[in-house]
Amino acid sequence: MRTTYPFSVAASCGSPSRRTFVKGVAGAALLSNFSAWSQTPSQANLGNPQVLSGNEFDLVIGPTPVNLTGRNASATTINGLLPGPVLRWREGTTVRLRVTNRLPVTSSIHWHGILLPSGMDGVPGLSFDGIAPGETFIYKFDVKQSGTYWYHSHSRFQEQTGVYGSIVVEPRNGERHRTDRDYVLMLSDWSDDDPETVMANLKKMSDFYNFNEPTAVDFARDASRMGVQQALAKRKMWNEMRMSPTDLSDVTGHHYTYLVNGASPDGNWTGLFKPGEKVRLRIINGSSQSIFDLRIPGLKMQVVAADGQDVEPVTVDEFRIATAEIYDVIVEPKDDRAFTIFAQSIDRMGFARATLAPRAGMQAEVPAMDKPQWLTMTDMMGSMAMGSDMAGMDHGTMDHGAMGHVAMKMPMAGGDSKAGMKMPATRMAKHARTEYGPGVDMRVDMPRDNIDDPGIGLRDNGRRVLTYADLHTIGGPLDKRGPGREIELHLTGNMERYMWSFDGQKFSDSKPLHFRHGERLRIILVNDTMMPHPIHLHGLWSELESPDGKFQVRKHTIMVQPAQRVSYLVNADALGNWAYHCHLLYHMEAGMFRKVVVS
């Protein structure tokens, strides 16, 4: 068998250059090389993606000229479409997908969140060799679940350049919630530049795309609020750490154009409804590097599913959706008017926008983006800083190298198991020896475990914001057993050097994680960085626990906030090699990736 490094294949995406924030032109005008599949969104079809249904599918990966920003560029697409077609399957059937690669380099497709044999998972170098240029690979597997999922390339940066699409699996016994309309909304981020150039820029200067750095105006505001001495101490602290309090995204809305179903904000994808109808929106964050905060001004959203799994309905005004996460919501617009679907990036430098309307061509007001907020001491130091007033802390005397090294007893977390395991008596993190090196610029000893925190930029904003504490999977856990053992991993990095890793080890320096087939284990993730990381374990469900060790929600991707500790249980019921990684593509490519072997 030919061995391929999991991140070895690059896909060119146009000539490198920088640009200012561009809203883009109407729709995703694809000048496809594959005319049989060419599609230009228009008012006639409202930009809805092509839908393919059944058990047999033919998908072709190839280069496609595009113009999404007013500038000609090249995308890597499926069947000449961006995003690729919506694949509709039915639970209990067997699907067969013939994927042909017309690129000059190896390609792949990973079926994100789908339970299948390891050899069908689509990660070159781990589960198969990849799809060589000119070759066709046949994926075949039983569909064992229902819900909303997605698919994307797992070959270098091809996902960033357009190789992604959505999956809707119809339940064997029909939908739990009956609706009158059903739309897929695929959020994504687009760059005209070659992703290799973007990565090179980040390696040279990690804040290359961050234009929200602290200004003299910010200093004057702080001095007025907390006094000149405290304002200076605050600046000194961040300077000594060589970090930015506004470092929320590596690649921001200054560079990206954000899309909904391939349409830019000016393209304005539109879904129709009749007043009084119930509309289901299957919202997928198919971006490479972006976290969105989504709301529909004037409409409440009833969240009914998370990552394809039905949850007890919860009504909210807004939710944060990390890269690779999925939320199904139901809205019921009663008025004969348009509503804006507004998804602003976490850095508040750009947004994706779409519309729900009774008639084609109608639009609603697009809200102003919220002001970006600075990271707090809680985001930096976890439970050690919770309840502290940043203005009242002596930042000038803080030693960043020893940050968080204060022993603090925490309450018992409970969580008995048949195997005799309990959650740790304290929340002290366990740092591996490998964390003490040049690849780690920050460690958190006392991480917070509050999953009811909506996160930076959403706290106390006057809207009802979804948190993980609100999510409860219907039916409870898949397995009543407690964990037989625990694995603690730390999400680590060095922002100045743009290095990302687990436990201070990038993928090329790490050893595989071994799960025993049939065991149930607890994975503890501690985020030692000041950036959120959406972590995806292939092939297995992750069953998030509450801070007191009770089952919370079943997901395939779990976002770990800065200085946060989360734990989840996993059934090692799928033999083979599986990928385990941060789903921020540039973080994964920089090394935040591990191989899991179930044997």
Domain boundary among the residues 132, 150, 177 is at 177
Q: Environment class of residue 559 by beta-carbon count within 10 Å: exposed (0-12), middle (13-18) or buried (19+)?
A: buried
386 falls in which pLDDT band (50, 70, 90)? low
5 found inside a domain: no
Q: How much is the pLDDT for 446?
A: 92
Q: CB neighbours (10 Å) of residue 42?
A: 12
362 falls in which pLDDT band (50, 70, 90)? very high
CATH of the domain at 513: 2.60.40.420
Contact 2, 150 (CB under 8 A): no
Strand ranges inside 163-300, DSSP E: 164-170, 181-190, 257-260, 269-272, 279-285, 292-295
Return the HEC string of 25-51. CCCCEECCCCHHHCCCCCCCCCCCCCE
Cβ neighbors of 182 (< 8 A, separation 6 or more) are: 279, 280, 282
Q: How far is residue 268's CA from residue 279's CA, in Å, rounded to a whole number?
A: 18
585 falls in which pLDDT band (50, 70, 90)? very high
Q: How much is the pLDDT for 218?
A: 54
pLDDT tens per residue, range 102-161: 999 999 999 999 999 999 999 999 999 999 999 999 999 999 999 999 999 999 999 999
Q: What is the pTM of this model?
A: 0.84
139 found inside a domain: yes
Average pLDDT over the chain, rounded to whole? 84
pLDDT tens per residue, range 298-335: 999 999 999 999 999 999 999 999 999 999 999 999 99
279 found inside a domain: no
Domain boundary among the residues 125, 153, 177 is at 177
261 found inside a domain: no
3-state secondary structure (DSSP) of residue 381: helix
For the record, the structure tokens of 4 come out as: 């391929």
48 falls in which pLDDT band (50, 70, 90)? low
State percent of the chain over pLDDT 90: 74
Q: How far is residue 434's CA from residue 149's CA, in Å, rounded to a whole number?
A: 35
Domain boundary among the residues 177, 203, 235 is at 177
Q: CB neighbours (10 Å) of residue 598?
A: 22
Q: How far is residue 145's CA from residue 298's CA, in Å, rounded to a whole number?
A: 34
- Whole-number Cα distances in Å, 51 to 30, 62, 255, 278, 330: 17, 19, 30, 21, 21
Count of CA atoms in the C-beta half-sphere (13 A) of 385: 25
Q: CB neighbours (10 Å) of residue 216?
A: 7
542 found inside a domain: yes
467 found inside a domain: yes
Q: Which amino acid, 148?
A: T
Pairing of strands 301-306, 309-316: antiparallel
Q: Give the count of domains, the chain.
A: 2
304 found inside a domain: no
Q: What are phi and psi of 520, to 5 degrees?
A: -115, 125
Higher pLDDT, 495 or 159: 159
pLDDT tens per residue, range 246-261: 678 899 999 999 999 9
Q: Which residues form the domain of 507?
A: 407-598
Does residue 273 register a pLDDT over 50? yes
Does residue 288 register a pLDDT over 90? yes
